Structures are given as C-alpha cells and as structure tokens.
Amino acid sequence: MRILQLLFAIIIILLLQDVPASGLSDSQQCRSNHGHCRRLCFHAEHWEGSCSNGRLRCCR
C-alpha cells in the first residue's frame, strides 16, 4: 500500500510540472482570443503564438 501512495505522489508531481505558475496557460489564452491550437495553421489562418507549452501553434 505504501508503494502505491509513493507512485501516486510521483505521478501528481510530474503532472503538475507542466502547469504554469501564473495566469492562464498558453492554450487557454489562445482559445480566449478565438484561436485554435493546431500543429500547422491553414492557409486562411495566421500564427498568433504557441499552445501546449510551445508544442502546438495558436492559429487565428
């Protein structure tokens, strides 16, 4: 049982490392500005910023 608690604590710590400390995440900021998170922007859209901590693009 102790091992399960330790593994759960480690998983929680690893998941919380991606959460930014201040304000909204870049994905939430993109969506609040009417953008979409994608790997590539379509020809009618332009690249506004990043999403998912820089892994995706914010297209609008």
Condensed to tens digits (0 to 9), the pLDDT of residues 25-51 reads 888 999 999 999 999 998 889 998 998
The predicted model gives 6-24 an average pLDDT of 69
Q: What's residue 18's pLDDT?
A: 57
- Rounded Cα distance between 5 and 55, Å, is 31
Bigger pLDDT: 15 vs 57: 57
Residue 14: pLDDT over 80: no
Cα(4)–Cα(17) distance, rounded to whole angstroms?
20
Checking if the pLDDT of 17 tops 80, the result is no
User: Residue 13: which pLDDT band, with cuts at 50, 70 and 90?
Assistant: confident
Query: 58 CB contacts (<8 Å, ≥6 apart)?
Result: 26, 29, 30, 33, 35, 36, 37, 47, 48, 49, 50, 51
Q: Minimal CA–CA distance to 29: which of 53, 2, 1, 9?
A: 53
